[in-house]
Every structure is written in C-alpha cells, then in structure tokens.
Structure 1
Amino acid sequence: MAVSYIPQDKVFAVCTYQMSSAPQKFSFSRKKINVYYENNKQPVLTVDDKNVMVEFTCKSPANLAGTLLAFGAGLAVGALVFLSGPVGWIAFGVGAAIFVGGAIATISAVNHKCTDPLNSGQWFLAHNSVKINGASAITRSSILKCGNSGILTPFFDEASANAAAHSIASKNKWELGINVVASFGAGFFLPSAFSGFGAASVAGKIWMTGGRFVAGFALFSGINYAVRGGIRLGHETFGDVSDNTTYDQMNNHTEDFVNSDGQVEQRDIDQNSLWGAPSKPDDLVQDSEDIIEIKKQSGPWYKITSYRTESVMGKITKIEETRRVHVSNVNLQRQLNQLEGLSRQQLRTNPLARQLLNDLNNGKYPEWRNAATHYNSGRMNPSMVDDGRTVAASHSSNSLKNLTSNSVQGALFLIPFIGTIFSEEARVDLAQGMASDLSAEPNGSSLVANIPVD
C-alpha cells in the first residue's frame, strides 16, 4: 500500500508527552532544502527534520517541577511533625531547599522548548532507500522518539489530530496530579524513617541513609515494570488496539543505528524496560514499609500485618510485624462506660465488673493493670474503672492513629502505579488516533511512496 511522504504545513504532530491540548505541525530543521511538495514553503521532510513549529507543553519537565515542589513541601512539613531538635531543623532545611529547586524547575518547565530534546531524538521506520538532500525520507508510517521519551507521529486529518491531542493531554494532566500527591506524601512520611537514627546500629544507619532507597527503587521498578507489561499485554491481546500497527511498533519495534562513535547499536521505540533513571522523588522512597494487610478475626479483633524491609547484620531481609489493634480497646471502653458512676458495693455484685476483674487477673489487659493506681485483685473499685477507661481511650486513639497512618502510606505506595495507567493509556490514544487519521484521510498527500518502509 502506498504511503504519503510528509510535507511541512500539511501534517500535524501529536506527542504522548504533551500537556497542551492541541496538535502542532512538524517543521524542517535541516540546513539544505531543495525538494518541495507544491511550493517553496512546503519542504518534504527527512530524518534530519526533528522540530515542530510551536513548542508543546511537555509533561517531562512539568513532572520534575511539580514533584520536586510537592516532595520538598512534604519533607519540610514532615520534619516538623516527626523530628525535633537539630535533626528536625536540618530535615526542614533540606525540604525547603528541594522546594526551591522545584521552583527553579518550574521556571524551566514554563520556558521549556522542544528543539533540543527533539534534535537528540530519533526517527524510526524511515524510507531509507529514498534520500532527500542526503537524508532518508520519512513517511506517514514513521515515528519520532523524542530525547525526553515522548513519541510523536504524523497526522493528516486535523480532526483526528485534535481528538488525540486533547485526550492525551487530559491523561498527562491526571498523571501529573497523581505524581504530585504521591511525592508530597513520600516527603511527608520520609522523616519518620529517621526517628530512631541515633540509637540504630551501624547496619541500621546504613539502611536508613542509603539501603532503603536502593531497595525502594528496586521494588518500585519491578512492580512498575509488571504493571506496564500487564497493561500492554492486555491491550495487545484483548483491547481496541489488538490489531493496531502503530501500537505494536511502539511496543516491539527495534532498529540498528550508527552512534557518534561509528558503532552500530540497537534502539527501540518504547519497549518496556525494568531499569531506568528515577524520574521523581517517590520512585526512591516508595518501599515495602508502606504495605499493610488488614484481616478481621473472630470477635472484636483485627489482625494488622506490616511487611517491612529491614537490615540484619548489614543484610537486607523482609520480615512481618503482626499485631491486634484497636477494636478490643473500643470494646473495653464501651464496657467500662457502663460501669461509670457505680459504687464499690455495686461493682462488687455487677456481673460485667466481675468478668472484667477476672480478665484482669488472668492477664488479658496488662496495660490497664499496670496503670491502675489502686489495683485490687479481689474486687473492682471506681478508681480501677476510671484508670481502665483512660487506658482504653488512649490505646484506641493511638491504634486508630497508627492504622490511619499505615493506611495512608499504603495508599501512597499504590498511587504512582495509577499514574502509570494514565501514561500507558496516553500511548493507546496515540495509536487509536493514528487509525482514525488513516480512516479519515486514507490518501494523505499526493506525494506517495509505493514502498513505505525499507
């Protein structure tokens, strides 16, 4: 099937990283031009042409700026909440410095230009047997991979380009918002990991200052790799792009290129990869300390299991911490409230008071027994009731607070992977947009290649 070459001004560009909701147009950037489409204002583009007429608002610098601002603000607030003294002020200062760095990055993001990242990018699926001014021609089938990792494709139909650009921009804005929330939470809870630094062993200090970040990034990368792979496999197998050529090429196509040293190296368009440079602060600090499991047991008990990564003699291991929490304290508090105001004589004959005294003597409520100022193993008294109510209320409050904190951290651990879903769906939007474009403008321009890719 013949496929159109790409003349300037006739073809729109849509990028998977764009946050602006409109498409732009591809522009020439090579120095020599002597092949035109219809007039001398419409050069036919080649692999040397890697620019757009109007810059996109790019999610890459916006993500960096937004997450640095959020992480720095969260770290500063968390330092005031979890730490005290010189360590707390140092952490607060670090958070403030990161926040300032985020402000600087924001200025850079606002002034972001596509030219440098695009020039460091690469055209794939070019028409290598057709040279224009010494460079391979590009066609409707070609895909430009930006140096910031965005993917750009040509559209001939303006309506299809507008629809794809609008949908992609919406996904990227959601992803940015999610990353900002996750980064603020990561910064806020990070100081709590250093609360026991002074009393920790040498191995513990190494873990706190470096090991946990390496382990966190490894865990984050592994799970994110699996999430991306699962999403792509689902779309390729069952989704609306299961037979979409563009989507298949984005995920699976590789080519050989000659690098600046004259060596041949293989590059892919956008294959799923396990390792990559951290792109935002929570990539490093989201680790297994944030994961909890809650299961209801018999009666008023809940079992809370925290999966925590720790260092034992310098070796990183995974252990479980299991405890029963607040429901028992809430139940005890309710029972003691029924005994409030009863006299010694009334408590002596009250069945509930007698049962609670028996539980106390059998060691069921050690915190209450230790807190009782006038404990009497032979009979319940008003002082014991008052002390028990105080202990139950305190433990219930603390357990609820711990459960809330753990639950929030567990949610924060999951949030970045929700951002990955939006990122992957933006790629699907591009592939579906390309299919719509081909349906709306099957002929493209009148300048076509009978063999589109070689």
Structure 2
Amino acid sequence: MAVSYIPQDKVFAVCTYQMSSAPQKFSFSRKKVNVYYENNKQPVLTVDDKNVKVEFTCKSPANLAGTLLAFGAGLAVGALVFLSGPVGWIAFGVGAAIFVGGAVATIAAVNHKCTNPLNGGQWFLAHNSVKINGASAITRSSILKCGNSGVLTPFFDEASANAAAQSIASKNKWELGINVVASFGAGFFLPSAFIGFGAASVGGKIWMAGGRFVAGFAVFSGINYAFRGGMRWGHETFGDVSDNTTYDQMNNHSEDFVNPQTGKVEQKDIDQNSLLGAPSKPDDFVQDSEDIIQIKKESGPWYKITSYKKGTVAGKITNIVESRRVHVNNVNLQRQLEGLDGLNRQQLRTNPLARQLLNDLNSGRYPEWRNAATHYNSGRMNPSMVDDGRTVAASNSRNSLKSLTSNSVQGALFLIPFIGTIFSEEARVDLAQGMAADLAAEPNGSKLVAKTPVD
C-alpha cells in the first residue's frame, strides 16, 4: 500500500507528552531546502526535520516543577509536624529549598521550548532509500521520539488530530495532578522516618539515611515495570489496539543508529518498557517499602498489622518488617473495666470478671496494662489496677486507630503513582487509536506518495 510523504503545513503533529489540547504542525529545520510539495512554502520533510511550528506544553518539565513544589511543601509541613528542635528546622529548611527549586523549575517549564528536545530525538521508520537533500525522507508511517521521551506522529486529518490531542492532554493533566498529590504526601511523611535517628546504631543510621531509599527505588521501579508491562500486554492482546500497527511499533520496534559523538552504531527503541530508568520526580525515591501496609485477620479477636517499616532504631538493619498485633477488644476492655469502677478491694476479689481479667494479666495477655500498673498484685485485683487498665485501654484504642489511619494513608500514597502510570499508558493508546482514525478519515494523505512505507 502506498504511503504519503510529509509536506510542511499539510500534516499535524500529536505528542504523547503534550498538555496543550491542540495539535501542532511539523516544520522543517534542516539548513538546505529545495524539494517542495506544491509550492515553495511546503518543503517535503526528512529525518533532519525535528521541529514543530508552535511549541507544545510538555508534561516532562511540568511534572518536575509540580512535584518539586509539592514535595518541598510537604517536607516543610512534615518537619513541623513530626520533628522539633535543630533537626526539625534543618528539615524545614531543606523542604523550603526544594520548594524554591520547584519555583525555578516552574519558570523553566513555562518557558519550555520543544526545539532542543526534538533535535535530540530520532525519527524511526524512515524511507531510507529515498533521500531529500541527502537525508532519508519520512512518511506517514514514521514516528519521532523526542529527547524528553515523548512520541510524536503525523496526522493528515485535522479532526482526528484534534480528538487525539485533547484526549492525551486530559490524561497528562490527570497524571500531573496525581503525581503532585503523591509527592506532597511523600514529603510530608518523610520526616517521620527519621524520628529517633540520633539513637540508632551506625548500621541503623546508614539504613535510615540512604539505604532504604535505594532499596525502595529498586523495589518501586520493579513493581512499576511489571505493572506497565502488564497494561501493554493487555492492550496488545485484548484491547482496542490489539491489531494497531502504531501501538505495536511503539512497544516493540528498534533500529540501529550511528551515534554522532562516538561514531558507533547503537540500537534504540521507540518507547519500549524499560526496567532501567532515571527517577523523574522526588517520590520515585521516597515511595519506598515504608509505604506498604498489610492487615490480616488472625484467630479470635486479633488482627496482625505488617508494614515495611523500621519498628525500632536499635540498628538491626535487617529488621525492616514490623509486625504488631492490635486487639479489637480494646473498646470492650474499656467497657469491662468501667463495670469494675467503684468496686472496693473485697468486691474485686470475688468478682468473676475481675478474677478473669487478673488471670489474663498474669498470662501476659495485656502487657501494656501490666507494665503501667503502679500497684500490680498478681494475687488479686485492686482499684488502682482497674484505673490504670482503663487508661491504658483507652490509649491503646486511640493509638491503634491513629497508627492504622497513618499507615493506611501512606499505603494509599504508595499506590497513587501506579494510577499515574495508567493515565500515561492510556495516552499512548490514544495516540495509536488516533492514527487509525486518521488513516480512515484521510486514506490518501498527500498526492506525493511512496510505494512502500519503509525499506
């Protein structure tokens, strides 16, 4: 099937990283132009032409700016909430500095230009046997990979280009908002991880200061790689793009290119799933194993809460998993002890409930209550023990709920970036579906065609 070459001003560009809702037009950027489509204002484009007439608003610098602002703000607030004294003020200052860095990045994002990233990109699926001004021609089948990792494709039908651009921009804005929330939460909870830092051993300090972030980034990257790969497999196998050529090429196509700096041939892909990737936002490091929580029902009235979090600062570097049991009957214990309130020693001595609770205490069922008892007597319950038990039970109920709430929030924050990945992947699907719609709407493209798309 013949495929159209790309004349300037006849073809729209849509990018998977765009946040502006309108498509733009590809523009020539090579120095020598002497091959035109219909007039001398419509050069036929080649692999040397990597520009658009109007810059896209790009999600890459916007993500960096937004997440730095949010992380810095979260860190400053978290420092005030969780830390005090010199350490707290240092953490607050770091958060403020990151916030300022985000403000600088915001200015850079507002003034972002596509030209440099596009020039650092690469055209794939070019028509290499057809040279224009010494460079391979590009066709409707060609795909431009930007230096910021966005993927651009040519559209001949304006309506299809508009629909794809609007859908992609909407998903990228959602992704940005989600990343901002995740980064604020990551910054807010970060100071709590350093409580007790001064009392830790050398190994504990090494872990708290940096080890867990490296490990966390590795774990998070691995999970996200599998999640992203699963989404792509699902789209390719069962989704609306299961037979879409553009989507298949974005995921699986590679070519050999000569590196202009080294002169060596390097293989590059369009947009394959990669395990190795540089962190693009602060929560890539901070969304670590501390944010995972697991709650399991055990026998009777006990729940086991397991979180990947340092339980102590004793320096046990391998003791990353913290498990604790929360008794759901703390409220019931409070009620039972309230029923004993006002009873004297003799009455407590003969009361069946008091005797049962004493047996529970002696068997180690309520260690916090036993440790808090100022006048503990293993032989009989006394009013002082009842008062101390009520205080401990009430405190345990509040602390259990507070701990569960805090860990649940952090667990939700761990999941948020995966939601961002969903929007990012769906933007790629939008581009592939848009290309199919464009081909259906404008099957002929331009009058200047190649008999084969690539060679």
SS at match of 1:325: strand
C-alpha displacement of 1:315: 10
State the one-letter code of the partner of 1:47: V
Residues paired across the two proteins, number = 454
For 2:204, the equivalent position in structure 1 comes to 204
SS at match of 1:144: strand
For 2:330, the equivalent position in structure 1 comes to 329
C-alpha displacement of 1:345: 5.9
C-alpha displacement of 1:338: 3.3
State the one-letter code of the partner of 2:386: V
Give the stretch that moved more between structures: 98-107 or 415-424: 415-424
SS at match of 1:198: helix
State the one-letter code of the partner of 2:401: L
Q: Contact between 1:131 and 1:137, CA under 8 Å: does it hold in 2?
A: yes
Q: Contact between 1:172 and 1:423, CA under 8 Å: does it hold in 2?
A: yes
Deviations 1:383-427 (A, max 9, x none): 333221111111111121111121121211121122111111111
C-alpha displacement of 1:297: 1.9
C-alpha displacement of 1:133: 1.5
Q: Which runs of 5+ in 1 are unaligned?
A: none
For 1:186, the equivalent position in structure 2 comes to 186
Distance 1:310 1:66 in 2: 33
SS at match of 2:91: helix
For 2:36, the equivalent position in structure 1 comes to 36
C-alpha displacement of 1:314: 10
Distance 1:351 1:282 in 2: 55
Alignment of 1:8-23 (within 5 A): 8-23=8-23
State the one-letter code of the partner of 1:354: R
SS at match of 1:14: strand
Alignment of 1:102-121 (within 5 A): 102-121=102-121
C-alpha displacement of 1:39: 1.6
Distance 2:35 2:311 in 1: 64
For 2:400, the equivalent position in structure 1 comes to 399
Give the stretch that moved more between structures: 146-155 or 368-377: 368-377
For 1:84, the equivalent position in structure 2 comes to 84
Question: Could you say what the CA RMSD is over the residues aligned between the two structures, in angstroms?
Answer: 2.2
Distance 2:306 2:43 in 1: 64
Give the stretch that moved more between structures: 94-103 or 42-51: 42-51
For 1:173, the equivalent position in structure 2 comes to 173
SS at match of 2:7: coil
Q: Contact between 1:309 and 1:317, CA under 8 Å: does it hold in 2?
A: no
Q: Contact between 1:310 and 1:317, CA under 8 Å: does it hold in 2?
A: no
Q: Contact between 1:24 and 1:56, CA under 8 Å: does it hold in 2?
A: yes
Alignment of 1:209-358 (within 5 A): 209-260=209-260, 261-308=262-309, 317=318, 319-342=320-343, 347-358=348-359
C-alpha displacement of 1:43: 1.4
State the one-letter code of the partner of 2:411: G
Alignment of 1:154-173 (within 5 A): 154-173=154-173
C-alpha displacement of 1:242: 1.0
For 1:451, the equivalent position in structure 2 comes to 452
Give the stretch that moved more between structures: 138-147 or 84-93: 84-93
State the one-letter code of the partner of 2:92: F
**Residues 202 and 83 from structure 1, CA distance in 2 versus in 1: closer, same or farther, beyond 3 angstroms?**
same
Q: Contact between 1:57 and 1:112, CA under 8 Å: does it hold in 2?
A: yes
Distance 1:436 1:184 in 2: 39
C-alpha displacement of 1:326: 4.5
SS at match of 1:383: helix
SS at match of 2:66: helix
State the one-letter code of the partner of 1:88: G
C-alpha displacement of 1:342: 4.8
**Residues 28 and 74 from structure 1, CA distance in 2 versus in 1: closer, same or farther, beyond 3 angstroms?**
same
**Residues 36 and 412 from structure 1, CA distance in 2 versus in 1: closer, same or farther, beyond 3 angstroms?**
same
State the one-letter code of the partner of 2:84: S
C-alpha displacement of 1:103: 0.6
C-alpha displacement of 1:319: 4.8
Q: Contact between 1:203 and 1:312, CA under 8 Å: does it hold in 2?
A: no
Percent identity between the aligned chains? 90
SS at match of 2:197: coil
Give the TM-score of the pair, scaled to structure 2. 0.94
C-alpha displacement of 1:432: 0.7
Give the TM-score of the pair, scaled to structure 1. 0.95
Deviations 1:284-311 (A, max 9, x none): 1222222221011233211112234899
**Residues 395 and 426 from structure 1, CA distance in 2 versus in 1: closer, same or farther, beyond 3 angstroms?**
same
**Residues 318 and 379 from structure 1, CA distance in 2 versus in 1: closer, same or farther, beyond 3 angstroms?**
closer
State the one-letter code of the partner of 1:50: K
Distance 1:118 1:451 in 2: 26
Q: Contact between 1:203 and 1:313, CA under 8 Å: does it hold in 2?
A: no
Deviations 1:259-318 (A, max 9, x none): 113221111101111111110011112222222210112332111122348999999647
Distance 1:266 1:381 in 2: 79
Deviations 1:173-228 (A, max 9, x none): 11111111111111111112222221222222222222222111111111111111
**Residues 309 and 26 from structure 1, CA distance in 2 versus in 1: closer, same or farther, beyond 3 angstroms?**
farther
Q: Which runs of 5+ in 2 are unaligned?
A: none
Deviations 1:19-54 (A, max 9, x none): 111111111111222211112221111111111111
Distance 1:63 1:169 in 2: 13
State the one-letter code of the partner of 2:153: T
Give the stretch that moved more between structures: 391-400 or 206-215: 206-215
For 1:24, the equivalent position in structure 2 comes to 24
State the one-letter code of the partner of 1:391: V
Q: Contact between 1:300 and 1:331, CA under 8 Å: does it hold in 2?
A: no
Distance 2:78 2:183 in 1: 12
State the one-letter code of the partner of 1:392: A
Alignment of 1:402-421 (within 5 A): 402-421=403-422
Give the stretch that moved more between structures: 351-360 or 270-279: 351-360
State the one-letter code of the partner of 1:80: L
Deviations 1:6-31 (A, max 9, x none): 11111111000011111111111112
Distance 1:433 1:183 in 2: 32
State the one-letter code of the partner of 2:427: A
Give the stretch that moved more between structures: 285-294 or 364-373: 364-373
Distance 1:73 1:327 in 2: 36
Q: Contact between 1:28 and 1:43, CA under 8 Å: does it hold in 2?
A: yes
Give the stretch that moved more between structures: 314-323 or 176-185: 314-323
